Structure 1
Amino acid sequence: MLTSERTVSKTGLDVAALKPKECDVRRALNLPFDTVAIDYEGREHLPESDVLDELVAEKRVLLTTPVRADGFDPLGDDSLYETLPPEVGRVFVAGHPAYLTDAERSRAIAPRLGAARERDADAWVGTEGVERVALAAGGPQYELLSRTTDRDVRALRAAGFEDTIALYAPTVCADDDDEILDAVGGYVSRRGPVRRALPEDAPVDSSATGRAREVLLKASRDYALVGSPEDVGERVRELKDLGVDVMVGYPARGVDEFLD
């Protein structure tokens, strides 16, 4: 596995995204990135305030906060806001249904994103599943890399959108197809077009063969950043030339891939 700072620098990534369910987010202190984004994976995995204090002392920290979740609801229970260090930046999202209760999932998204933006006008707004609402809420747009990203970014810039566009992508600095599929096969298989194209009950990791393997490998390049660090860097430059401002990489093979 390639782990040197020189290797990571070749990718052109600006931000590392970490999942607290997978790793101790304090490992961000050793990453060669000035900014780290921490995903929300349920209240039980929310980093403690003392951990966040350690991080903000050395890094810019962005924390995903689902506006429908208890504790982060700007129109209801917002008690978790008070526990976060004021230096922690926000990424307002609707919230992945897997991490929300039935009651939370039933809450209206649009008024909550609007209220959240009134509270913090500098926060990023996650667009996954709520693209029009997120754009209407305004502010930096935080999007997932997809097969339509190039077209979408061109359209936003052509329409006069001048705010920040940040783009998230699982990242695998490897050329080996098996390593790529083991790292992101499951992720890309959940994208709608990919799910529909896959043969029923096909494996989605390195054991995939035939049509399933072909679909997954193509999708890995549509929905993730994969290949040598130089290949990843070339794709990142293409995206930035189109109008992306910030590239956020999630180390899909583990945080060690982004370590010095």
Structure 2
Amino acid sequence: MLRNAESVGETGIDAAALKPTECDVARAADLPVGTVTIDYEGREHLPTPESLAGLAEHLDVRVTTPVRADGFDPLGDDALLADLPESVGNVLVAGHPAYLTDEERRRAVAPRLGEAVDRSVDPWVGTESVERIALATGQTQFELLSRTTDRDLRSLRAAGFGGDIAVYAPTVLADDEDAILDAVGDYVARRGPVARALPEGAPTDADAEGRAREVLLAAASDYALVGGVEQVRERVAALREAGATTVVGYPARGVDAFLRD
């Protein structure tokens, strides 16, 4: 294993999230993780059943399936869902609006999520925008890292939730501020509190200066895993102490950044 891949393993991150528009998802087999989730970026980018089955021979593979999208709708067109290999699991989500048509966005989430859970084996359920509905399923909660995640995890555990909780976070194994901003600046800038705090029209990448740069770098630590191996390892450990059972890292600088010698 190459040096940076070993470093990723040393952080305590135990799952990786890959985007099929950015890389061949088969490269997940090179990463020091036991689980990989494949993000949904439109049906035209969905990996073939054959490639998913091949990857599942080496890893626990889960495909993000938006329950409102044609092809994954358990109350309608479920052709793509039916084609998924039995060895591949699901991360059931309401679906990012950017990848849904107007008609799909209008579909009710709750009945579709409930039906999808009933038809799945050990699914993870994405909480984004549907927290209460997701919690009601009793399945593994799939949460995006935010500034309130630690508090939210402790609250869930204190309230008696005993199920698994997976936390997803863009990951940048670098101390360099410019590298961090180029990798996750746009992502964190879209978070509501961050967008409100940013000066209007300010760059969100390495070109950010002054107040914008301060806001973005602070937000990067809230909404992503950033820094050297030891810093990320401490953050992962804190998430586990708060109640997370799985930490899913998305390689925000690309898979090569995790594998580069």
TM-score by length of 2: 0.97
Kept in 2, the 8 Å contact 1:67–1:116? The answer is yes
User: Where does residue 245 of structure 1 map in the other structure?
Assistant: 245
Task: Work out the CA distance in 2 between the residues paired with 1:3 and 1:202.
Answer: 36
**CA displacement at 1:136 relative to structure 2:** 1.3
**Corresponding residue of 1:161:** 161
AA aligned opposite 2:79: S
Partner amino acid, structure 2, of 1:237: A
Match of 1:57 in 2: 57
Q: How many residues align?
A: 259
2:173 corresponds in structure 1 to 173
For 2:75 and 2:130, locate their aligned partners in 1 and report how far apart those are by CA, in whole Å: 18
Cα deviations across residues 82-101 of structure 1 (Å, max 9, x unaligned)? 21111000000000000011
Question: TM-score, structure 1 length as denominator?
Answer: 0.97
Which stretch shifts more, 143-152 or 79-88?
79-88
Where do residues 81-230 of structure 1 align in structure 2 (5 Å cutoff)? Answer: 81-230=81-230
Name segments (4+ residues, structure 1) moved above 6 Å: none
CA separation in 2, counterparts of 1:227 and 1:30? Answer: 22
- AA of the residue aligned to 1:215: V
Gaps of at least 5 residues in structure 1 are none
User: Structure 2: which amino acid aligns with 1:21?
Assistant: T
**Amino acid of the residue matched to residue 200 of structure 2?**
E
Contact 2:6 2:32 (8 Å CA) reproduced = no
Q: CA deviation at 1:5?
A: 3.3
Residue 248 of structure 1 aligns to a residue in which SS?
A: strand
Alignment RMSD: 1.1
Contact 1:32 1:259 in 2 (8 A): no
1:3 deviation in Å? 4.6
**Distance (whole Å) between structure 1 residues aligned to residue 7 and residue 77 of structure 2:** 44
Which residue in the other structure is 1:24 paired with? 24
